[in-house]
């Protein structure tokens, strides 16, 4: 890890270098994994803060803004649409509704990736014919019968 990377990771504090190093090679999957790590980190960091306390509320907003920045930057680097063309709102104009909408957009996109992967996995798997399943069941029953006889 380079010194610059370490400083960036410490500053952004959402994704570890190990997590980055272990991202999938396929950009959409890597994006999904990165978002997953970043969302969990954001949840952990904001859970301990009290949104009713002014100072904590400002920290929550800064963390949410940084989260958006990290996710959009990752999308741009990985060339993941629709986030590549997304602009980050100016911090002075950043509102709670910006974060809520962004999170909804990210959740919507990540859900699509998860479903695509599930469908792709099913297409790539080999189905077992009912006849083979029946043979496996019969063979298992025969082995159990033999095992029980040998115990008697």
pLDDT in tens, 90-117: 888 888 888 899 889 888 888 888 887 7
Distance CA 51, CA 54 (A): 7
Distance CA 141, CA 146 (A): 9
Q: How confident is the model at residue 127 (pLDDT cuts 50, 70, 90)?
A: low
pLDDT at 11 over 50: no
Q: Would you say 88 and 68 are in contact if contact means Cβ atoms under 8 Å apart?
A: yes
Q: Would you say 35 and 24 are in contact if contact means Cβ atoms under 8 Å apart?
A: no
Distance CA 101, CA 79 (A): 21
As a whole number, the mean pLDDT across the chain is 79
Average pLDDT over residues 8-37: 82
Q: Where is pLDDT greater, at 129 or 95?
A: 95
What are the CA-CA distances from residue 139 to residues 8, 44, 127, 148 (Å)? 58, 50, 19, 14
The whole-model pTM stands at: 0.68
Q: Would you say 75 and 67 are in contact if contact means Cβ atoms under 8 Å apart?
A: no
Distance CA 69, CA 62 (A): 10
Q: Which residues lie below 8 Å from residue 70, measured CB to CB, with a gap of 6+?
A: 12, 14, 15, 38
Cβ of 100: how many Cβ atoms within 10 Å?
Answer: 11
């Amino acid at each position: 890890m380079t010194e610059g990377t370490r400083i960036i990771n410490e500053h952004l504090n959402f994704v570890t270098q190990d997590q980055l190093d272990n991202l999938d090679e396929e950009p959409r999957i890597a994006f999904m994994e990165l978002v997953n790590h970043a969302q969990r980190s954001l949840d952990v960091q904001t859970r301990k803060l009290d949104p009713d306390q002014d100072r904590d509320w400002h920290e929550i907003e800064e963390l949410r803004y940084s989260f958006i920045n990290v996710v959009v930057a990752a999308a741009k680097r990985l060339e993941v649409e629709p986030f590549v063309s997304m602009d980050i709102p100016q911090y002075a104009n950043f509102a709670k509704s910006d974060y809520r909408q962004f999170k909804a957009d990210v959740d919507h996109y990540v859900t699509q990736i998860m479903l695509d992967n599930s469908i792709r996995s099913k297409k790539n798997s080999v189905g077992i014919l009912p006849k083979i399943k029946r043979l496996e069941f019969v063979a298992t029953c025969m082995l159990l019968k033999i095992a029980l006889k040998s115990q008697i």
